[in-house]
Amino acid sequence: MAKLVMGYWDCPVCGNKEIRGDVTNCPSCGRARGDVKFYVKGYSEGDSLREEELNQFERLDKKKAEEMGSNPDWYCSFCNSLNSDKADVCSNCGATRADSEANYFDRLKKKQEEEAAEYAAQHANDPKQKRSLKPLIIIAVIVLALVSVFAWMNGNKTAGDLKVTDISWIRNINIEENRMFSESGWSLPAGAEQTGTKREIHHYDSVLDHYENVKVRRSRQVFDHNETTLEDNGNGTFREVSRPVYKTEYYTETEKRPVYRQVPRYATKYYYNIWRWTPSRDVTASGTDHEAAWPVPELAENEREGARTEDYRFTVEHTEKKSDPTTYSLAESDWMQINVGDQLFITSKRTGSNPYISDEKGNKLAEIRQVK
């Protein structure tokens, strides 16, 4: 059986306070204890106490604890009298406990619900506090500003006073040369001419050498003390409910750890000569007209054509304001439609994304990329 602590109650009729829990009638006005709220002097519900702190309360001895018990009082459904858990018959009207349903906690819960309902009814017609619209207005202004900035940043700007001042093209062919390289490896590639071999370290294996003792710091949870809370029994007493509290303890432990050594593993390494195609030079053709053509390279016996690249550009200047010329690159098919002297519309996002050739309304006609 858990240890019990004496509780107290206050008389709701005459206001007499700190009446012992084993007293069922108010010593001042004689009113029956009824549905009161029990408490322990100097203790707040839910507080945790150490063992030495429990000595400030009146702890019941074994005889007194057995006499009062630890179960809640019960209410007689016929006369509303409060009776001890040990009584099977109502001390006021003689009705049996079997005919009653509510105990101290049931009655206390019902009382709290009734009080809450009464409070709500009393304040149902209170004028509601008018909610300030100022925070909502501030939020609306901020949202509107953000939307406006976003729309402006993602909007288009179209320049129409642009005149083409230059067009150009360039085509390039990379020439590859077949050269001989001296290389080495752990296998002989196809087509290679071996020049020699040698036993060399291929890799290292970790091999157990020995064990060594190492001190390791570890932690564990060890019992420190008990903390106790007082819980209402509903009969004028409180029971002590204890739980253990642990602390972290650190200690040093010696353990054996393996130590490895690195053992070299040898293999045959091949040395060889091998012919490979490698970039050697570029052959380029360019012009400032629409007659774009690929260059015709002269190839030596050990050469071949490699990758081809091409670039098509045009330059524009503002006709109404002075600014530096701007050069753009674009696909050949679109570039072929552009001539020196043409007036163009170029549209771009304010965020700086790639511009494009457009009509005067900003509708896209061709993708372009500005050349820095």
List, as one string, the DSSP characters of 187-226.
Answer: S--TT-EEEEEEEEEEEEEEEEEEEEEEEEEEEEEEEEEE
pLDDT at 237: 93
pLDDT at 102: 66
Question: Quick check: is 39 in a domain?
Answer: no
Window from 54-68, 97-111, 161-175, 339-353 with minimum mean pLDDT = 97-111
183 and 263: one domain? Answer: yes
273 or 112, greater pLDDT? 273
* pLDDT classification of 155: cutoffs 50, 70, 90: very low
270 and 187: one domain? Answer: yes
326 and 258: one domain? Answer: no
Please write the tens of the pLDDT for every residue from 59-75.
999 999 888 888 888 77
Q: Are 192 and 205 in contact (CB under 8 A)?
A: no
**Highest-confidence segment of 96-110, 136-150, 196-210:** 196-210
Question: Quick check: is 78 in a domain?
Answer: no
216 or 352, greater pLDDT? 216
**Is 301 buried (19+), middle (13-18) or exposed (0-12) by CB count in 10 A?**
exposed
320 and 363: one domain? Answer: yes
Whether pTM exceeds 0.75: no
CA distance 72 to 57: 20
Question: Quick check: is 293 in a domain?
Answer: yes
**What residues make up the domain containing 341?**
162-175+281-370
Question: Quick check: is 135 in a domain?
Answer: no
pLDDT at 352: 59
pLDDT at 110: 77
Question: Quick check: is 317 in a domain?
Answer: yes
* pLDDT classification of 5: cutoffs 50, 70, 90: very high
């206390």: which residue's tokens?
108
193 and 166: one domain? Answer: no
CA-nearest of 328, 331, 330, 340 to 159 is 328
299 and 361: one domain? Answer: yes
pLDDT at 44: 93
304 and 353: one domain? Answer: yes
305 and 171: one domain? Answer: yes
Please write the tens of the pLDDT for every residue from 84-96.
777 788 877 878 8
* pLDDT classification of 147: cutoffs 50, 70, 90: low
Mean pLDDT of 104-123: 76
363 and 332: one domain? Answer: yes
336 and 355: one domain? Answer: yes
CA distance 287 to 262: 64
Q: Are 287 and 340 in contact (CB under 8 A)?
A: no
The beta strand positions in the chain, using DSSP E, are 4-6, 8-9, 19-20, 74-75, 82-83, 156-185, 193-232, 237-287, 303-318, 326-330, 343-349, 356-358, 364-370
Considering its fold, how many domains does the chain have in total? 2
CA distance 19 to 15: 10
Q: Is the dihedral of CA 335, 339, 345, 348 positive or negative?
A: positive
pLDDT at 154: 47
The residue type of 146 is L
Question: Quick check: is 83 in a domain?
Answer: no
Q: How many of the other CB atoms lie within 10 Å of CB of 48?
A: 13
Query: To the nearest whole percent, how much of the chain has pLDDT over 70?
Result: 90
Asked whether the predicted pLDDT for residue 128 surpasses 60, the reply is no
Please write the tens of the pLDDT for every residue from 288-312.
999 999 999 999 999 999 999 999 9
171 and 297: one domain? Answer: yes
171 and 188: one domain? Answer: no
Question: Quick check: is 334 in a domain?
Answer: yes
Question: Quick check: is 7 in a domain?
Answer: no
Query: To the nearest whole percent, how much of the chain has pLDDT over 90?
Result: 61
Q: Are 149 and 351 in contact (CB under 8 A)?
A: no
CA distances from 306 to 59, 276, 301 (A): 100, 13, 15
Tell me the pLDDT of the chain averaged across its residues.
88
- The two three-digit tokens of residue 174, written as one number: 């990379």
